[in-house]
Structure 1
Amino acid sequence: MSRMIALIILLIPGILAGYGIKLMRDMLFGLQASWIPALWLQFVLGFLFMVLGVGFIGGFLLRRDRKNNKVQERFRRQK
């Protein structure tokens, strides 16, 4: 059950990051989303979505691996 919850927790930021990449790609091709008033704002929102999604997933994995003691010495917490 805990693995299913972890999967759901990781799916939401993963979808958010994917949508951010899509927004940035569409801006480069000149396709504007209907709910965003300007192309530059679309790129900024897409970049923000991507950074937040990837950052959350990376932090989640780093925290899990630290707990299981599976990280390199430089990523371990100082006591």
Structure 2
Amino acid sequence: MTRLLALIIVLIPGILAVIGVKLMRDSAFSIENWPFTNVWLQFAFGLFLFIMGLAFIGGFIYRRDKKRKKVTKRFKHR
């Protein structure tokens, strides 16, 4: 059950990051989607979603590896 919960926790930000990539791709080809009025606003929101999703997944993996003591000395702060 806990593994399923962990998968869901990682899957949601991953889906948001994929949506961010789609929004950035659409704005590169000048395709406007519904809630956005400008292409640059759509690109900025897509970039925000992508960065936040990537940061969450990276932090999740870093925290898991830190708990299992698989992080090198260079990345250990405490």
* TM-score exceeds 0.5: yes
Distance 1:3 1:70 in 2: 20
Shift of 1:77: 3.0
CA distance in 2, matches of 1:64, 1:22: 29
Q: Which runs of 5+ in 1 are unaligned?
A: none
- Pairwise CA RMSD of aligned residues? 0.7
TM-score, length-normalised on structure 2? Answer: 0.96
**1:58 CA displacement:** 0.2
Q: Which residue of 2 aligns with 1:54?
A: 54
TM-score by length of 1: 0.95
Alpha-carbon displacement from aligned partner over 1:37-71 (angstroms, at most 9, x marks no partner): 11000000000000000000000100010000011
Kindly report structure 1 stretches of 4+ aligned residues shifted beyond 4 Å: none
Structure 2 residue 32 is the aligned partner of structure 1 residue 32: yes
How many corresponding residue pairs? 78
Unaligned regions of 5+ residues in structure 2, if any?
none
Identity fraction in percent: 50
Aligned runs of 1:1-79 on 2, under 5 Å?
1-78=1-78
When structure 1 is superposed on structure 2, of 45-54 and 31-40 the one drifting more is 31-40
Please give the alpha-carbon distance, in whole angstroms, between the structure 1 residues aligned to 2:75 and 2:5: 26
